[in-house]
Amino acid sequence: MDNRIILAIRELRENSAFAFIGSIGKRAFPQIKAMQVLEHDSLKVHLFATYTGSDHVAEYRKNPKASVYYYAVVGGEFRGALFTGKMEICTDHSTKAILWRDGAGVYQPTNVSDDDYCVLKFTAETVNYYAGMDNATYRIEDM
């Protein structure tokens, strides 16, 4: 595995304010939602704050297969990273506290202990990275 590719994927992810998460929705059609990126851990784990009563939480409870997509235009060149893996709904206080931001706005629950607040924990298995005309898929375990 070329370390330059790993660094490029990390940079793309770290500079993304939003990610697009995909789930399998009603009638088995893909559903895509934009989510604010608040934290960066490893390339394997991605965390997103949301509401337990949202449609996408219900979709992940039914089918945990998921994708997370980041993109950017760098120097006129399109770059994207499509991660595939599984989504877990976390309602424990310690995980919820990782993404909690006081005063984050009207879409936020009242506090970190709010039962309607949860964290989506995505665990990646693969990433498809492309820059310009180059395109390759990698196993996360190999990175």
**CATH number of the structural domain spanning residue 31:** 2.30.110.10
Whole domain around residue 125: which residue ranges? 3-142
pLDDT, tens digit, 9 for 90 and up, residues 121-130: 999 999 999 9
pLDDT at 105: 46
CB 121 within 8 A of CB 45: yes
Q: What are phi and psi of 140, to 5 degrees?
A: -60, -35
Model confidence at 98: pLDDT above 50: yes
- For residue 45, the SS3 value is strand
**Interacting residues of 34 by C-beta distance below 8 A, sequence separation 6+:** 18, 19, 20
Q: How many domains is the chain partitioned into structurally?
A: 1
pLDDT at 57: 95
This prediction has a pTM of 0.90
